[in-house]
Amino acid sequence: MQCVFWRRKLVTRIPTNHAGLGLRSAADLSLPCFLLSSHACKGLINRLLPSLNLETPYGDVNDAIDNWSKHHDSSPLENGSSLG
């Protein structure tokens, strides 16, 4: 029974060009999604709460950027943009 479960799980992760479904796990997507959402809502937060001054990354965003840097050669702060 467990063997069938793991085989199905692996098939879902195989890229579509290799006859898989190409799905990614939530754990693989959580960090880039968090960084993207932090960057996307920064402008709105600055307009709604200008006293916060989110020009520099804060707490959880700093931790996420550090975690990203440990696992990737590129920075999430490319092209002069800033997160936070």
Q: Tell me the per-residue pLDDT of 24-40, one tens digit each, with 9 for 90 and over.
A: 878 888 888 888 888 88
pTM, full prediction = 0.59
Contacts of 32 (CB under 8 A, 6+ apart): 68, 76
What is the total count of domains within the chain?
Answer: 1
- Structural domain span for residue 72: 25-84
The residue count for the chain: 84
The pLDDT assigned to 55 comes to 63
Asked whether residue 1 is assigned to any structural domain, the reply reads no
Indicate the pLDDT class of residue 7, thresholds 50, 70 and 90. Answer: low
Residue in 42, 32, 20 with CA at minimum distance from that of residue 69 = 32
CA distance readout (Å), 65 to 2, 4, 12, 36, 84:
36, 37, 29, 11, 10
- On whether residue 29 sits in a domain, the answer given is yes
60 lies in a domain?
Answer: yes
Residue 65 counted as domain residue: yes
51-79: pLDDT as tens digits? 876 666 677 888 888 888 888 777 776 65
Residue 68 lies in a domain: yes
The backbone torsions φ and ψ at residue 19, rounded to the nearest 5 degrees and listed phi first, read 70, 25
Residue type, 74: S
